[in-house]
Amino acid sequence: MTQQETPVRKVPVACTLNGQQTEFLAAPYQSLLEALREVVGLTGTKEGCNDGNCGACTVSLDGRIVDSCLVLAAEVDGRQVDTIEGMAPPHGLHPLQQAFLEEAALQCGICTPGFLVAARALLEREPHPDEHRIRLWLAGNLCRCTGYDKIVRAVQRAADETT
């Protein structure tokens, strides 16, 4: 089926994005990931696989982390979406962002936004996770550079420093 035969009507979406009321039009087939990157213009959320297996596109949806490639943009109407762009306070860094820098927890950095969003959700629920708990929580986020050692240490450091 081509667009010639069936013109696609875009869907209006109104959501709270990083604390701001935001409205945009999304095609019905468009994922939240694509809408964030291509429609809204927030490219901090990354595409690594587009099938829910790498976690590079992790965002928070009503406080729960999701792979934004597996959520339709139209589904977030009326809901709260938080991305990497909303993580730092104005002119500052979130403790996790600071810990990632101090611990050298990124090499190429493409997976970093997803890890940060996922790790924040963990620390919001469990301020003092042990190593196994951190590894289990982050098992949905692939990193090919670090071997995870320094990422786990950065999350531990951020947990220690926010007490």
Partner 1 sequence: MSTTADRPAQEFKVVGSRPVRHDGVDKVLGRAQYGADVKLSGLIHGAVLRSPYAHAVIKKVDVSRAEAAPGVFAAITGNDMPVTAPRLVDMMEEVTNLKWASERVMAHGKAVYRGHPVAAVAAVDQNTALEALKLIEVEYEPLEAVISLEDAMKPDAVIIHDDLVGDHLGEKVPHTNIAEHTRTEFGDPEAAFAEAAHVLERTYTIARAHQGYIEPHSSTAFWSPDDKISVWTTTQAPFGVRSSMAAVLKVPLSDVRVVPTEIGGGFGGKIGLYMEPLAAVLSRKSGRPVKITMDRKSVFDATGPGPGGQVTAKMGVDKDGKIVAATATIRYMAGAYPGSSISAATAGIFACYKVPNVRIDAYDVVINMSKTAAYRAPGTPQATFASESLVSELCETIGMDPMEFHLLNAAEEGTRRPDGPVFPRIGNVACMEAIHNSDHFKSELGESPDGKLRGRGFASGYWNGGGNRSSVTISVNDDGVVSLVEGNPDIGGTRTTIAMQAAEVFGLPAHDVHPTVVDTDSVGYNDLTAGSRTTYASGQAAIEAARQVVEEIKKRVAMIWETEPENVSFEDSVFQNKVAPDQRFTFKEAAGKLGQTGGPVSKTGAVNVRGSGGGSFAAHLCDVEVDPETGKVQILRYTAAQDAGKAVHPSYVEGQFQGGAAQGIGWALNEEYYTSPDGVMQNASFLDYRMPTALDLPMIDAIVVEVPNTNHPFGVRGIGETSIVPPAPAVGNAIADAIGVRMYQTPMNPSRIMEALANKRNGKNGHQG
Q: Which residues contact partner 1 by CB under 8 A?
A: 1-4, 27, 29-30, 34, 37-38, 41-51, 53-54, 56, 83-85, 87-88, 93, 97, 100-104, 106-113, 116, 131, 134-136, 138-152
- For residue 72, the 8-state DSSP code is B
Nearer to partner 1, 81 or 151 (CB): 151
Buried b (16+ CB within 10 A) or exposed e, 35-45: bbbebbebebb
For 161, half-sphere exposure in the C-beta direction (CA atoms, 13 angstrom radius) is 14
Nearer to partner 1, 78 or 104 (CB): 104
Smallest separation (angstroms) from partner 1 to the CB of 118: 10
Largest CA distance in the chain: 59
Smallest separation (angstroms) from partner 1 to the CB of 146: 5
Nearer to partner 1, 71 or 106 (CB): 106
Nearest one of 25, 79, 132 to 68, comparing CA atoms:
79
